[in-house]
Amino acid sequence: MGQREDMTSEQPWLIPYVEYHQGPRRVLTLELTTGNSTVASKYRPIVSIDGRQYVVLWGPVHFEVPADRNVHVSVHLEGDLVSQVASVLLGPGEPHLAFRYETHYTSGVGTLTPVPVPA
């Protein structure tokens, strides 16, 4: 493997991109929220990056993703059934992106909304 142009994987708080990719990488921050305390105590969000799933905790989570190509990101909850699904296709570009995931139990669908990058 060749030398990567950036050193994002060396940050201990960053979940590395594990699929084969030799190009530049960037940071994706997801703020995972729910207004439902029962959901927060019973379920953990599942984040998928290009199809690979990660069971994570509520709150901010940081992923390393490719910067030179499209990346598919989705978040959902899993219990008796899969629910609160939200998905976005990120285009190549920005060195750091941030989104807020929110659950909406009245509609049954979650949302991923772009937010300003944390300082």
- The dihedral sign for the CA sequence 5, 9, 15, 19: positive
Q: Which residue has the higher pLDDT, 59 or 117?
A: 59
**Residue 100 in contact with residue 33, Cβ under 8 Å?**
yes
pTM of the predicted model as reported, rounded to 2 decimal places: 0.86
Distant-in-sequence, close-in-space partners of 86: CB < 8 Å, separation ≥ 6: 74, 75, 76, 101, 109, 110, 111, 112
- The CATH number for 38's domain is 2.60.40.10
Does 1 reside within a domain? Answer: no
99 - beta bridge partners? 30, 114
Residue 20 phi/psi, 5-degree rounding, is: -65, 125
pLDDT digits over 56-101, tens only? Answer: 999 999 999 999 999 999 999 988 778 899 999 999 988 899 999 9
Does 36 reside within a domain? Answer: yes
Does 2 reside within a domain? Answer: no
Does 119 reside within a domain? Answer: no
Residue 95 confidence (pLDDT): 87
Distant-in-sequence, close-in-space partners of 45: CB < 8 Å, separation ≥ 6: 32, 55, 56, 57, 58, 75, 76, 77, 101
Range of the domain at 39: 8-114
As a whole number of angstroms, the distance between CA 68 and CA 53 comes to 21
Does 3 reside within a domain? Answer: no
Does 59 reside within a domain? Answer: yes
Quickly tell me which residue has 């060195």 as its tokens. 95
Residue 2 confidence (pLDDT): 41
**Residue 74 in contact with residue 85, Cβ under 8 Å?**
yes
Does 57 reside within a domain? Answer: yes
Chain-centroid distance, C-alpha 112: 9
Does 25 reside within a domain? Answer: yes
Residue 65 confidence (pLDDT): 96
pLDDT digits over 8-61, tens only? Answer: 556 768 999 999 999 999 999 999 999 888 888 999 999 999 999 999 999 999
Residue 9 confidence (pLDDT): 53
- The tally of domains found in the chain comes to 1
